[in-house]
Amino acid sequence: AIKRRSDYQSPAYVIQHVELDIDLYPHETRVICTTQVERKSADQQPLVLDGVDLQLLSVRVNGADWTNYVEKEQTLVVDGLPDAFTLTIETQIDPANNSSLEGLYKSGDAYCTQCEAEGFRKITYFLDRPDIMAEYRVTVRGNKSAYPYLLSNGNVVAKGELDDGRHFVTWHDPFPKPCYLFALVAGDFDLLSDNFVTASGREVALELYVDKGKRERGYHALDSLKRAMAWDEQTFGLEYDLDIYMIVAVDFFNMGAMENKGLNVFNSKYVLADGQSATDDDYFHIESVIAHEYFHNWTGNRVTCRDWFQLSLKEGLTVFRDQQFSADMASPLVNRINQVNVMREHQFAEDAGPMSHPIRPDVVMEMNNFYTVTVYDKGAEVIRMLHTLLGVQGFRRGMDLYFERHDGQAVTCDDFVQAMQDANQHDLTLFKRWYSQSGTPVVRASGEYDQQARQFKLTLTQHTPATADQAEKQPLMIPVNTELLGNQGTMVQTVLSLTQAQQTFVFDNIDQAPVMSLLGNFSAPVRLYDGQNSSARQHIVMYANDPFSRWDAMQTLYGDYLHCQAGSAGEFAEPISTAGIVELQRSLLNQAMDSPALVAEMLCLPSFETLVQQAEQIDVDALFDARNALLNQLAEALEQDMLAVVQQLPAQAYDYQQNQVEQRRLRNVLWLYLGRLDQHQAALKSHYHDADNMTDCLGALRAAQEGNEQTFDQLMVAFEQRWQDDPLVLDKWFGLHASAPRKDCLSRLDLLSGHKQFSLNNPNRVRALLGSFAFYNPKGFHAKDGSGYRYLTDYLKRIDPINPQVAARLVTPLTQFRHLDSERKSLIETQLHRLLDTPNLSGDVFEKVSKALGIQ
């Protein structure tokens, strides 16, 4: 069913107290939910509770059996009720058969829950909406030897023994919360304990629960948590509020992690790390996800969303907060580059496709489909623009006012912007349009220099092309970081505010025609066309103040070059020569030891996926081949320069520490080139075998994957032997196989899906294998005969009945076909129709497929 943001109505009934009694059995878990309900509406409308896949056992009102109810269409409609009453509902559920990983389910030997967005209704009949905030008291019962830990939100208030080897624990969470923040975990774990003393001197117990035997891999996560807690105190004055903070790592999880009050549940991928088994990127992501979920305690839990259309209220803001934290912990520049790559690869693609939506969507069929790169990452970009506009202190004032006004409430994105506005007396009326308008704005720049008047006029225009969801677009408030460069370096550095369709900005006292370096640090989530030629671009690469702009100019040079080589349709500048790129890289290599992080990023070509988003239409094979050819040419031309850098990089025992991370990154980027040369295969194998850490092992494997089939096959065999019993690590191996551009790629996928560690029920495995294929194997997925599309579709038909959320994420590459040729488009359409014709197709997949086919 379609839900609209404009249809919001305040609840007819509210629940302020919940008592849950959960008796755990694999197939017959009993749930008794006792609530204090109050009618808020003036009329006598019935109470409509949400519930999915529940077996109803009894309904009582004020302790007496109640029969005036009906179960229909995933609701329980209770009628004839008094104004205020105690409602007791008993249901039975089957966690062991719950493969959707939503509600209460088994993850391996443990029970756990995932309730956001609308999973609580799979546990009991309830008012499953975030503006119903209640205090919870939860009793969990289970077998004591199998489930020594029985966890829920808040503090333990009672525990004891029961008959038949069972025991119970009762938890109380004093902070009212929406039901999507409820959590329960039962199992046997290794426990890592620590503590944190808050700024005001309160002691908080920190507990991290991981699979037995994985204790040593938990320390980085725990350290990350302490850093995040301290950072939020220092940066935003926000302290933790309960006496205990628990994190549980589970192997079966649909997303990254979940911020349940006082009891985060994490995909074990974002908890477990040691140098042997995890890469620097893994370490980075663990720290950032741990921080993200922690930061939700204020931005999400203490202040939550009124309705799910407001999701970016908590997600955009919390992503921005975790980004700021990561920038403070490590390299701000590399962080920013990675964030911008996510926007250009994935968010631009989403906005250009059938699922385009504003960061605050207006229409939703399945809420789980809106945990998107638009709501999260573009949402964070919008918050970042506010931060740019108001400054560090102004932003902080806004945050303070937001908490002062809304602590303990369920609110809207408008409430957030209003607090920012009022705290700074800064009119944000126009700015708010970012919340309601979808699509990627196109900004064009042109300059006019007047030697006589020593004046430079910069004209900016903006236009947002129509998107699938919105035909009409209006101008937005776009901050444009602007640097004007002369022969002697930077003449002007400022932020321009573009608010109209066209505006001209005048700069006086400019002594020479400048080169324009615009949108520094990606100051707004837009596409920029500045009409400058490749020699202006080279000038930026060499001389811009802003290192981000140097990287970005290099990316544009690569992009224009590759699209021209590949004959893509679109707007590209006259390209630089191959020799020109070689010389630019040579000069970068000369600076490599001084700024390894920047140089490493500047040596990287745009990903294939980013390139696709830059063109109107591409020829998949030509673009892939052009990229590959340039990489080979660069490797051949710069072999000696690259070797010289590799040899200068020091060997050192692994530590996740900034200097080392940057040097490893540079070394592995260089191997991506050198690994293409026959004469360096022995050295590449040594790079793999001599490594004392996963970052270099994986770096060698990636280099071999692109560079040499034989080396790749040999190293992959070695890797599998080493890690065959560790599925989380083996995911890297599944991913490398699935994204390798091999002719026999589908039969390899068949073999891999028969691997003893592969399981269609585990989202990490499915994403590693099929996700890597569909998102990151353009040659295989877009094979001209349509075999890749058919292959994915066959799997989607099998995965959807198991886990609709996973299937719906995996269908994305089949829905973003705008840049492809008409033959491929029609091959894709055939497969989308096959999906649509699947009996019992989930609403999740239906929403995306029907939009892609334009029938909804």
Using CB positions, name the residue nearest to ligand ARG.
371
CB of 835 to ligand ARG, least distance (A): 21
Q: Is 50 in the site for ligand ARG (CB under 6 A)?
A: no
User: Percent helix, strand and coil across the chain, each rounded to 5?
Assistant: 45, 25, 30
Q: Is 847 in the site for ligand ARG (CB under 6 A)?
A: no
Our CB check for ligand ARG shows the closer of 376 and 435 to be 376
Stretch that binds ligand ARG, among 169-177, 249-257, 414-422, 623-631 (CB under 6 A): 249-257
Look at residues 247, 233, 333 and name the one whose alpha carbon lies nearest to residue 286: 247
Footprint of Zn ion on this chain (CB under 5 A)? 315, 318
Our CB check for Zn ion shows the closer of 320 and 434 to be 320
C-alpha dihedral sign at 703, 705, 707, 711: positive
Half-sphere exposure in the Cβ direction for 21 (13 Å, CA): 8
Our CB check for ligand ARG shows the closer of 117 and 728 to be 117
Q: 519: part of which helix (H) or strand (E)?
A: none
Task: Decide if 522 contacts 555 (C-beta within 8 A).
Answer: no
Task: Decide if 600 contacts 662 (C-beta within 8 A).
Answer: yes
Task: Show the binding pattern over residues 268-297: x = contacts ligand ARG (CB under 6 A), - = does not.
Answer: ------------------------xx----
Task: Decide if 123 contacts 115 (C-beta within 8 A).
Answer: yes
Residue type, 530: D
- Of 147, 209, 284, 371, the one binding ligand ARG by CB under 6 A: 371
Q: Is 257 in the site for ligand ARG (CB under 6 A)?
A: yes
DSSP 8-state code for residue 521: G
| Binding partner of residue 282 among Zn ion, ligand ARG, none, CB cut-off 5 to 8 Å per kind | none
Task: Decide if 153 contacts 182 (C-beta within 8 A).
Answer: yes
CA distance 836 to 554: 43
CB of 744 to ligand ARG, least distance (A): 36
- Of 140, 150, 255, 852, the one binding ligand ARG by CB under 6 A: 255
CB of 255 to Zn ion, least distance (A): 9
CB of 432 to Zn ion, least distance (A): 22
The size of the interface with ligand ARG (CB under 6 A), counted in residues, is 13
Task: Decide if 655 contacts 617 (C-beta within 8 A).
Answer: no
Look at residues 410, 452, 412, 214 and name the one whose alpha carbon lies nearest to residue 309: 412
Task: Decide if 663 contacts 589 (C-beta within 8 A).
Answer: no
Label the pairing between strands 478-486 and 489-498: antiparallel
CB of 515 to Zn ion, least distance (A): 40
Stretch that binds ligand ARG, among 47-55, 140-148, 256-264, 722-730 (CB under 6 A): 256-264
| Binding partner of residue 556 among ligand ARG, Zn ion, none, CB cut-off 5 to 8 Å per kind | none
Q: In what order do the strands lie in the sheet with 455-463?
A: 502-507, 455-463, 442-450, 527-529
Task: Decide if 294 contacts 229 (C-beta within 8 A).
Answer: yes
CB of 514 to ligand ARG, least distance (A): 43
| Binding partner of residue 117 among ligand ARG, Zn ion, none, CB cut-off 5 to 8 Å per kind | ligand ARG
Q: Is 315 in the site for ligand ARG (CB under 6 A)?
A: yes
Our CB check for ligand ARG shows the closer of 292 and 346 to be 292
Q: Is 368 in the site for ligand ARG (CB under 6 A)?
A: yes
Q: Is 254 in the site for ligand ARG (CB under 6 A)?
A: yes
CB of 175 to ligand ARG, least distance (A): 17
Our CB check for Zn ion shows the closer of 294 and 734 to be 294
DSSP 8-state code for residue 690: H
Half-sphere exposure in the Cβ direction for 523 (13 Å, CA): 21
Our CB check for Zn ion shows the closer of 247 and 674 to be 247
* b/e sequence 678-690, b meaning 16+ C-beta within 10 Å: eebbebbbebbee
The pair of three-digit structure tokens given for residue 726, joined into one six-digit string: 């560790």
Our CB check for ligand ARG shows the closer of 117 and 468 to be 117
Residue type, 703: A
CA distance 338 to 341: 5
The pair of three-digit structure tokens given for residue 200, joined into one six-digit string: 């005001």
294-313 residues near ligand ARG, rule: CB under 6 A: none
CA distance 833 to 539: 50
Stretch that binds ligand ARG, among 252-260, 426-434, 470-478, 605-613 (CB under 6 A): 252-260
Task: Decide if 318 contacts 297 (C-beta within 8 A).
Answer: no
C-alpha dihedral sign at 687, 691, 696, 699: positive
| Binding partner of residue 844 among Zn ion, ligand ARG, none, CB cut-off 5 to 8 Å per kind | none
Look at residues 579, 683, 675, 570 and name the one whose alpha carbon lies nearest to residue 628: 675
The pair of three-digit structure tokens given for residue 541, joined into one six-digit string: 């690469």
| Binding partner of residue 271 among ligand ARG, Zn ion, none, CB cut-off 5 to 8 Å per kind | none
CA distance 255 to 321: 19
| Binding partner of residue 258 among ligand ARG, Zn ion, none, CB cut-off 5 to 8 Å per kind | ligand ARG
CB of 323 to Zn ion, least distance (A): 12
Our CB check for Zn ion shows the closer of 139 and 326 to be 326
CB of 54 to ligand ARG, least distance (A): 19
| Binding partner of residue 546 among ligand ARG, Zn ion, none, CB cut-off 5 to 8 Å per kind | none
Our CB check for ligand ARG shows the closer of 749 and 811 to be 811
Q: Is 259 in the site for ligand ARG (CB under 6 A)?
A: yes
| Binding partner of residue 255 among ligand ARG, Zn ion, none, CB cut-off 5 to 8 Å per kind | ligand ARG
User: Phi then psi for 650, rounded to 5 degrees?
Assistant: -75, 145
User: Phi then psi for 77, rounded to 5 degrees?
Assistant: -105, 115
DSSP 8-state code for residue 299: B
Task: Decide if 519 contacts 480 (C-beta within 8 A).
Answer: yes
CB of 292 to ligand ARG, least distance (A): 6
CB of 782 to ligand ARG, least distance (A): 28
Stretch that binds ligand ARG, among 257-265, 379-387, 552-560, 657-665 (CB under 6 A): 257-265
Our CB check for ligand ARG shows the closer of 255 and 476 to be 255
- Of 21, 50, 90, 116, the one binding ligand ARG by CB under 6 A: 116
Bridge partners for 249 per DSSP: 266
Residues known to be catalytic: 293
The pair of three-digit structure tokens given for residue 254, joined into one six-digit string: 């649909």
| Binding partner of residue 613 among Zn ion, ligand ARG, none, CB cut-off 5 to 8 Å per kind | none
Contacts to ligand ARG by CB under 6 A: 116-117, 254-255, 257-259, 292-293, 315, 368, 371, 805
